[in-house]
Amino acid sequence: MPLLSSEELAQTYSPPTERNAWEQVQLYRQSQRYPDDWGAARVASAINADDEVPFETLSRSNLRAWVDGDGMPDAARAVTVAEDLGWVATEWTPTVRAFAELVIGVYACGSIATETWVPTWAPDSGVGRETIVAGLERIGVGCKAITRTEKSDGKRRADELRPRQHASILGRALHVAGAALGDKNLESTAGLPKWLATAPPSVRASAAELLVRERGIVYPEKATRRIQSERHPQYFADVAALIEDVTGESVTASDSGVTISADAVRALGLA
């Protein structure tokens, strides 16, 4: 099951035209298939006359910025970036695996800004940090760290990790693949991504470890851990099922959280 489709990524954009974003991407790509010395008027006429192309009544003005200039619709640019960097794939390539870890990373220790679509992660653990940094490098966007101020109690806050380039495109792609946009709450986080159910065992194991490592409450005198936050009960059920399947040990979900047994925590290598 693919994590990301070009069409769904395009549809996160709202172009100021009568065509939706995916149609605009298709039209843009069609307009680029003609000789470089053809102007917008000639290209428009050729597309109008082609019965195999689902566009008609085009004028020169519809294509001028793309054919006579070097313009490109935002949605087309996003789709091109995602396809060129290997995010859109039907196989579990190393890039897709890294992309999947970044999606789960948003659940565990990240967020996507509502207005800018820029994703950020603030892992508390060194392993979590290494996972996010490696993932951003692997998918081709690079990583930059933003040092955050200290908390009121004097404790240092975890650095924020962000993409070095293509930040808003990545945020849109992560959202299409299941990560919440904006605040994570009962409505926005109603379960884990559906693709995780059929992901390779190594991807599922990495997801389970990241969730417990970053979200699990550590108790000083016992190995048992607890995940709790404002999430939909189905989310807790999904998390419990994932960890139990990966570890083969007892994990209990309730409407308010997930209790990971000591044996399950040890099976994940966290105790």
Q: At 218, which CATH number?
A: 3.10.28
Mean local confidence (pLDDT), 222-233: 95
Tell me if 1 is assigned to some domain.
no
Mean local confidence (pLDDT), 141-162: 79
Say if residues 239 and 227 touch (Cβ distance below 8 Å): yes
Mean local confidence (pLDDT), 46-64: 90
Tell me if 107 is assigned to some domain.
yes
Mean local confidence (pLDDT), 228-238: 95
Q: Looking at the structure, do residues 91 and 155 belong to the same domain, yes or no?
A: yes
Q: Read off the tokens for 119.
A: 């994703």
Mean local confidence (pLDDT), 103-119: 97
Please identify which residue in the block is written with the tokens 């007892």. 250
Q: Which pLDDT score, from 0 to 100, does residue 152 have? A: 61
Q: Cβ neighbours of residue 54 under 8 Å, at least 6 residues apart?
A: 26
The DSSP result for 87-141, as a single string, is -S-SS--HHHHHHHHHHHHHHHHEEE-TTT--EEE--SSHHHHHHHHHHHHHTTS
Q: Looking at the structure, do residues 151 and 208 belong to the same domain, yes or no?
A: no
How do residues 185-211 score in pLDDT, each as one tens digit?
Answer: 988 999 999 999 999 999 999 999 999
Q: Looking at the structure, do residues 60 and 142 belong to the same domain, yes or no?
A: no
Q: Which residue, among 156, 162, 164, 157, has the nearest Cα to 132 in the 3D structure?
A: 162
Which of 144, 162, 182 represents a domain boundary (last residue)? Answer: 182
Tell me if 200 is assigned to some domain.
yes
Q: Looking at the structure, do residues 102 and 80 belong to the same domain, yes or no?
A: no
Host domain of residue 192: 184-271
Tell me if 198 is assigned to some domain.
yes
Q: Looking at the structure, do residues 143 and 222 belong to the same domain, yes or no?
A: no
Q: Read off the tokens for 171.
A: 């945020």
Q: Looking at the structure, do residues 77 and 39 belong to the same domain, yes or no?
A: yes
Tell me if 111 is assigned to some domain.
yes
Across the chain, what does the average pLDDT equal?
Answer: 94
Residue 149 binned pLDDT confidence (cut-offs 50, 70, 90): low
Q: Looking at the structure, do residues 199 and 250 belong to the same domain, yes or no?
A: yes
Number of structural domains the chain divides into = 3
Q: Looking at the structure, do residues 134 and 175 belong to the same domain, yes or no?
A: yes
CA angle 137/143/146 to nearest 5° reads 160
Alpha helices, DSSP H, located in 11-115: 21-31, 40-49, 60-67, 74-84, 94-109
Q: Read off the tokens for 31.
A: 């307009």
Q: Which pLDDT score, from 0 to 100, does residue 148 have? A: 73
Report d(CA 211, CA 226) in Å as an integer. 11
**Distance between start and end Cα atoms, the chain:** 33
CATH code, 149: 3.10.28.10
Mean local confidence (pLDDT), 90-114: 97
Q: Which pLDDT score, from 0 to 100, does residue 15 have? A: 83
Q: Looking at the structure, do residues 191 and 177 belong to the same domain, yes or no?
A: no
Q: Cβ neighbours of residue 223 under 8 Å, at least 6 residues apart?
A: 262, 265, 266, 271
Phi, psi of 30 (to 5 degrees): -65, -40
